[in-house]
Chain A
Amino acid sequence: MIKKAKISWTFLLGIFVWMSCSKDQGSVDYSLRYPDYFPAPIYPTARNPITKKGFELGRALFHDPILSVDSTISCASCHSQGHAFADQNVSLSTGVYGRVGPRNSPSIINTAWQSNFMWDGGVNHIEVVPVAPITNHLEMDESIKNLVYKLNQNPKYLSRFKQAFDVEKVDDQKVFFALAQYMSMLVSADAKYDMVQQGKATFTSDEALGYTIFNEKCGSCHREPLFTDYSYSNNGLSIIGMDLGRYTVTLLDQDKHKFKVPTLRNIQFTYPYMHDGRFSSIAQVLNHYSNDMASHENLDQRLVNGDKVGIALTIEDKKHVEAFLKTLSDFTFISDPKLSE
């Protein structure tokens, strides 16, 4: 009896202490879910654990044009769930006052595994990703100071920040924490490919042939299971234009005209393709790799085949590869109500 009482005393005190220590973290009932063949994610970190309130606040901010200078553009304007959080099938995105940016809006998925962001990898942490689109003249053109001011004038947001982070005032770090919670929860791992990996489905014969060809000829850059190796690569685009890509970040000659290898998950929803959105179909991309690649001093050596540049693919091969690529379409993810505002 006595022993039991002691345990329950300690237990009660423990609960009380746990509540007092963690009250500023909301209730921790949201966590990253991913299949066992994924590597360990690098986000969230201990200082910003995902909570229901934090995630929902991030979701609200992501969909709210209050982030832009004239309240016309939200993150979701160019990163739409129906397109796996890429833009709605335009090559280049339009920001405030009809301004058009120089690069294609990438799909925001599986960012919890990503250490560098943007086509040139210039942003080194998920929490500071939003600084770029919010402050960019061509995108939202808002200052962080004014955004924080606007949020502090808004009773709805004040109460939501209070609930999520136990703060009386909004500061920019908490804005970025909330957005990082939402963005890192954009896990896409329910495509047919994943069902096959988990033994819950099987590939058709075209898909299976395509999977074999893909692994042999595409998989070293677009590596499973995330379908990118996160490297920067020149893939022999013929007209390269003024955009120096990775070079703008590193200032190294060997990085000129290199861009991040994008994930191919949900590629069916994220056209057009490449950093400038030049190709509008998967077929055009495959034709580029098989027929149209140009030489470049920084061309990825994985795309050189003996004395020829490009990937040898027959018409049949391309048909099969495309069939396989469509098994990376995650219909559950693009229609998940938990991710929509």
Chain B
Amino acid sequence: MKLFNKILVVALFAIVAFSSCKKDEIIVATAGKVGINIDHVWGSTNEEFKMKTELLHPALQEKMTFNTFRYYVSNVGMRAKDGSLVILPESYYIVDLSIDNGNELTLENVPAGEYTGVEIMFGVDSLKSVSGAQTGALSPAEGMFWSWNSGYIMIKAEGKAPTSITGDFVFHLGGFKGENKVQTTKTFAFDKSLVVNGSRNAEIYLIANPAKLWHGAEKLATKSNQKAPGVVAKSMSTNFYGGMLFDRIDN
């Protein structure tokens, strides 16, 4: 009996200690991966958006060649069939069209089940913007962090434009607080249930249109550079995020 008591105390202690060490891990036996593929089109004709290729902006009627197009996607939540929202912890990604497959994101450890939609924040939340040094996609080493005015560059678009005074365009858009905060959460409903069961990778397809950045913006001839938060960053990013569309899912 005394030995049993001793074992019990030790066992209880070990359980408490074990759970306190492991509290950050969510272990779901049949969890799976879900891909988010964002296809990029250019303008209302839906031609393919290509880097390092001269494109004519349909509204500005100005030519532009993109060398850099990157933006943050974060705080992904999956809408379960029962209506609950399954938030995927620490889900921060950079969509980067300069690298192969940089438009394909992988959601890890999505709990098994059926889902009817997805919630995505475009940009980075204010909490991560004020909480010091981060890792992964949020590391300042990614070149998407303003050193002089702490906060993330949520959209970075750079390239050549013959009508610009400098011959270049440089748009670093961000700002996480106040009326000019850029980050926006959007909800996309699926046309059918997305199934996660651990063995297969379901895919979500979205469509983005970088031309939307300049819907309502000044011509590049007069405004080809914006590297700070403010009304310009707010309006350009709002137009871009507003053009995000759901395409389809593949189970």
Which B residues touch A128, using CB under 8 A?
132-133, 140, 145, 147, 150
Is B133 a contact of A148 with CB atoms below 8 Å? no
Which A residues touch B151, using CB under 8 A?
124
Is A172 a contact of B140 with CB atoms below 8 Å? yes
Q: Which of B134, B149, B230 has a CB less than 8 Å from the CB of A122?
A: B149
Is A173 a contact of B20 with CB atoms below 8 Å? no
Residue B10 interfacial (CB < 8 Å): yes
Is B148 a contact of A123 with CB atoms below 8 Å? yes
Q: Given A6-B5, A21-B20, A125-B150: A173 and B133 within 8 A (CB)? A: yes
Closest-by-CB residue of A relative to B178 is: A250
How far is the CB of B222 from the nearest CB of chain A, in Å?
19
Which B residues touch A124, using CB under 8 A?
129-130, 150-151
Q: How far is the CA of A136 from the CA of B140 in the complex (A)?
A: 13
Q: How far is the CA of A172 from the CA of B145 in the complex (A)?
A: 13
Is A10 a contact of B10 with CB atoms below 8 Å? yes
Residue A176 interfacial (CB < 8 Å): yes
Q: How far is the CA of A126 from the CA of B139 in the complex (A)?
A: 15
Which B residues touch A32, using CB under 8 A?
none
Closest-by-CB residue of A relative to B16 is: A17
Q: Which of B6, B13, B150 has a CB less than 8 Å from the CB of A14?
A: B13
Q: Which of A20, A126, A136, A144 has a CB less than 8 Å from the CB of B132?
A: A126
How far is the CB of B5 from the nearest CB of chain A, in Å?
7
Closest-by-CB residue of A relative to B175 is: A251
Interface residues of A in 213-267 (CB under 8 A from B): 248-249, 251
Which B residues touch A127, using CB under 8 A?
132-133
Which A residues touch B148, using CB under 8 A?
118, 122-123, 132, 136, 248-249
Closest-by-CB residue of A relative to B134 is: A173
Closest-by-CB residue of B relative to A124 is: B150
Which A residues touch B131, using CB under 8 A?
125
Which A residues touch B145, using CB under 8 A?
128, 131
Fill in one digit per residue for B125-148: 1 if any A CB lies within 8 Å of its CB, else 0: 000011111110001110101011
Q: How far is the CA of A116 from the CA of B135 in the complex (A)?
A: 21
Q: How far is the CA of A5 from the CA of B149 in the complex (A)?
A: 59
How far is the CB of B138 from the nearest CB of chain A, in Å?
9
- Summarize A's interface: helix, strand, loop or mixed: helix
Q: How far is the CA of A17 from the CA of B22 in the complex (A)?
A: 12
Give the total number of A-B pairs whose CB atoms are below 8 A apart: 92
Is A125 a contact of B130 with CB atoms below 8 Å? yes
Which B residues touch A14, using CB under 8 A?
13, 17
Residue A9 interfacial (CB < 8 Å): yes
Closest-by-CB residue of A relative to B9 is: A10
Is B13 a contact of A10 with CB atoms below 8 Å? yes
Q: How far is the CA of A128 from the CA of B134 in the complex (A)?
A: 9
Residue B228 interfacial (CB < 8 Å): yes
Is B150 a contact of A13 with CB atoms below 8 Å? no
Is B132 a contact of A176 with CB atoms below 8 Å? yes
Q: Taking each of B6, B9, B143, B148, which has the highest tally of chain A beta carbons within 10 Å of its own beta carbon?
A: B148
Residue A200 interfacial (CB < 8 Å): no
Interface residues of A in 174-233 (CB under 8 A from B): 176-177, 180
Which A residues touch B59, using CB under 8 A?
none
Interface residues of B in 110-138 (CB under 8 A from A): 129-135
Q: How far is the CA of A248 from the CA of B133 in the complex (A)?
A: 23
Q: How far is the CA of A14 from the CA of B12 in the complex (A)?
A: 11
Which B residues touch A171, using CB under 8 A?
135, 139
Closest-by-CB residue of B relative to A135 is: B147
Residue A40 interfacial (CB < 8 Å): no
How far is the CB of A66 from the nearest CB of chain B, in Å?
16
Q: How far is the CA of A136 from the CA of B146 in the complex (A)?
A: 11
Closest-by-CB residue of A relative to B7 is: A9
Q: How far is the CA of A135 from the CA of B141 in the complex (A)?
A: 10
How far is the CB of B90 from the nearest CB of chain A, in Å?
13
Closest-by-CB residue of B relative to A45 is: B132
Residue A308 interfacial (CB < 8 Å): no
Q: How far is the CA of A148 from the CA of B135 in the complex (A)?
A: 13
Q: Which of B6, B133, B141, B149 has a CB less than 8 Å from the CB of A177?
A: B133
In the complex, 28 of the A-B residue pairs with CB atoms within 8 angstroms, ordered by the A residue number, are A5-B6, A10-B9, A10-B10, A10-B13, A14-B13, A14-B17, A17-B21, A21-B21, A122-B148, A123-B147, A123-B148, A124-B151, A127-B132, A128-B132, A128-B140, A136-B147, A143-B141, A144-B141, A148-B141, A172-B133, A172-B140, A173-B134, A173-B135, A180-B132, A249-B148, A249-B149, A251-B228, A251-B229
By Cβ-Cβ distance, the 10 closest A-B pairs, closest first, are A127-B132, A176-B133, A17-B17, A127-B133, A144-B141, A124-B150, A132-B147, A125-B132, A131-B147, A122-B149
Q: A17-B13, A122-B149, A128-B145 are in contact. List 17 more A-B contacts (CB 8 A).
A: A2-B2, A5-B6, A9-B10, A10-B13, A17-B17, A17-B21, A125-B131, A125-B150, A126-B132, A128-B147, A132-B148, A143-B143, A144-B140, A173-B139, A176-B132, A251-B229, A251-B230
| Residues of B participating in the A interface, judged by any CB pair closer than 8 Å | 2, 5-6, 9-10, 13-14, 17, 20-21, 129-135, 139-141, 143, 145, 147-151, 228-230
| Residues of A participating in the B interface, judged by any CB pair closer than 8 Å | 2, 5-6, 9-10, 13-14, 17, 20-21, 45, 48, 118, 122-128, 131-132, 135-136, 143-145, 148, 171-173, 176-177, 180, 248-249, 251
